[in-house]
Structure formats: C-alpha cells, structure tokens
Amino acid sequence: MADVCPFLDDEEETGMPTGSGPLAGLLVADFSRILAGPYATMLLADLGAEVVKVESPGGDDTRTWSPPVRDGVSTYYLGVNRNKRSVALDLKDETDLALARELAGRADVLLENFKPGGLARFGLDYDTVSVGNPGIVYASISGFGSGPGGKDLPGYDLIVQAISGLMSLTGSPDGEPFRAGISVFDVMAGLHATIGVLAALNARHDTGRGQHVEVNLLSSALSGLVNQSSAFVAGGVVPHRMGNSHPSLFPYEPLPCSDRDLIVTAGNNTQFRRLVEVLGVPELADDPRFARNEDRTANRDELRPLLVERLGTRTAMEWFSDIIAAGVPCGPINSIDGGVRFAEDVGLDPVVLVGEGEAAVPSVRNPIRFSESQARYDLPPPGLDEHGEEIRRWLASSADDPRADVTEEQR
C-alpha cells in the first residue's frame, strides 16, 4: 500500500480532512467518467481511499447532464462523485501528461473507462504503467470487452440493455420493449469493478504485484440477468415479456386493492397459506390447483381473480399492515420520494450531508455498514479542477514522493 500523498495527509496544513475507513491509505487515480467508473471510485472513496479524479479541461460529461440541478450543478454528477478531489489535465499537453503519468506511477489503483486501448497512446495503459509501478491494480471498464470483436464498439448502458435482452423482458406482454428506469448495467459494472479491485488488492498482499482487472457492461448484464439468462443457458428457454408477472412464482406481482396496487409476494407454500388466511379464504391453500408453487404458477389465471376479489375490499395500506404482520412480504408502489421516506421510517437514515456548512450536499448513504468501520462523507463532489493546484504541486515534486527511494523489489 502506498503512503497517502502529503497534501492529503496533513489536515492541519491543508484544512482538508484525512482519510478514514477500511481502505484508508489507498490512493486511487480515477481516469473514468460518466457513471460506471465514477460510481466504483465513489464507493472506494466512501470506504476511505483517497481518490484523485482526473478530468479533461472540459470536465466530466455528467456535469452538464441536466435537469435536475442543485445550485447549478447536475444532480447526476453529484450522485456519483463525493469524497473525491478533482484535477483537470489535458493529456495532449506534455506537461499535463507527465503529471498524469506521475499520478499513475504512485497510485495503488487506477480505474479507467476509455475505449479499450485508448490510453496506450498516452503511455497510460496497464502494460506501460505496471513497468514502473508493478503493484498497481489497474481496472478497465468497457462496453463489450477488449477482444477484437468488441473493443471498437461504443459502450452505452441503453445499447447493452437492448443487446443483452433486458429490454425484451421489460414492459407489457403485448407492448414494446422498455429500458429500465436507471442505467442498471452501468451500476452493475461499477459494482463488479469494485469487487475486482478489492480482490486484486487482497491478492497483492501475497504476491506483491498488482494486475489488470477488466469488466465490461455486456458480461455484467448477462451475469445480472441471473435466472433469465440461466433459463436459456441451462434450460434452452428464451424468456419473454410478462409485464409485472414472474415466470416462476405466483403471486409475485402488483395486485389491485380498493385504492391502488399492492405488491404481494408468496415465495413458498407457507407464505401462501398465511396470505390466504389473512385474506379470509384459507381454503385456497388446500385447493389442489393452488397447493404448490408450481400449481399456482400454472393456474395463475384462475387464482388471480380470487385474490383480487378479497384485496379489493380494503385499501393497499390497510392490507399492507395485516399481510406484513402475518409474515408475508408485500409493499406499496412508491415514487422515489416515497421510497426515501419509507427508508427513513424503517430507520435506515438514507440521506447524509456530505461536507460541512453551506457547501454540504445531500447524498444517498453508502449501503454498506460495518460493525467496526464506517463510510465517510467528508468531501462534497468537487468543482472542476478544485484541487488542481495542490495535486499539481505534489505530482511535480518527486522529492515529496514517499516511495521515490524505494527499490522496485521493495515495491
């Protein structure tokens, strides 16, 4: 593990908070932009790593993706860039390129999502960087991998949602395919990249050497499609759109109450028996058409109206209380504000303030909780080149590098 760079390590001198958390002491060079990469590096930063966000002079594209905005800054950008420090470097400028190479040479982790091979012309590819920094964990995120068939394809989440088959599963059976409401595979790829980085760092404890970690959106998509991709790979079945219905479970979908729909899920026979007891039709649990999950799934068109008839006698929230009390999972269909409020109601404290005073930015809490450590929320998402002066000064001074006199073998 590299020593943390001096300007990040001296709170008294700089007025900046020092790193804390399970990844404290790791230096991450973040050459990524948009979503998958920045989401991964934000998670690492939340857990204590010091992340230097390297941006082009024009900045990360998401800075201008609006509306909505907060204080003139895109909330898209704000959502995935907390706890980082920004430096703007023009890789076509020799002075800036030298600083970028110096940062890569000192980093524990470098993460990038350029088109495969795109950083080679700058001498910032894994093969080049690892010569001078053999301990580096170098993570690359692409759309379709670095092979000859995929390396030149542009990698956008929406394209992968289409190509992977996700859109063929989303929407009503008789309607057109739909995209998911978020860039779901960008997020999955960011999570997979984070897992890969942590695994490679653990391996470095034994070998002393880093490695190249590669993640691509299509592979993340096929993995993330779980039962649906397995249906084809293991069963030869091509799944199709079923609206809100589940191919293997019933009930497991929205069902109408007197005022609105309620998600009702009975994942096993015991839960189904409890459900129909609460609904006042316990005899359905012993009906041979509905006794087992496979029976309920095969006969869903007969069972659904029987459940709907009972649910229609009360409101969704009235049924929610009683069904939950019986040990059967269910839930209302909320908008995002309702989802945040529900998380608050159950004690998850989903919103945190990042930074202090008037500069603090509301953000969604890191979902990981530790018994001994905690995520940090020190720095609001940085302005473009906000920390450029300090970072440039540190990188320009090799004398300040705590590893400058360390031999390659010691590294």
Catalytic residues: 186
Burial 135-155 (b: 16+ CB within 10 A, else e): bbbbbbbbbbbeeeebbebeb
On the 0-12 / 13-18 / 19+ scale of CB atoms within 10 A, 111 is buried
Q: How far apart are CA 101 and CA 128, in angstroms?
A: 10
Q: Which residues pair with 140 in a beta bridge?
A: 112, 214
Q: For residue 347, how many C-alpha atoms fall within 13 Å in the half-sphere facing its CB?
A: 0
Assigned token pair, 77: 């950008």
DSSP state letters, 122-184:
GT-SHHHHHHH-TT-EEEEEESS-SSTTTTTS---HHHHHHHHSHHHHSS-TTS-----SS-H
399: three-class secondary structure by DSSP? helix
The beta strands (E) that lie in 266-354 are given as 330-332, 351-354
Query: Is there a contact between 123 and 91 (Cβ–Cβ < 8 Å)?
Result: no
**At which residue do the structure tokens 């080679």 appear?**
120
**Beta carbons within 8 Å of 143's beta carbon, 6+ residues apart:** 150, 153, 154, 155, 156, 159, 160, 216, 217, 218
382: three-class secondary structure by DSSP? coil
The CA radius of gyration of the chain, in Å to the nearest whole number, is 25
252: three-class secondary structure by DSSP? strand
**At which residue do the structure tokens 């001994």 appear?**
372
Q: How far apart are CA 331 and CA 346, in angstroms?
A: 13
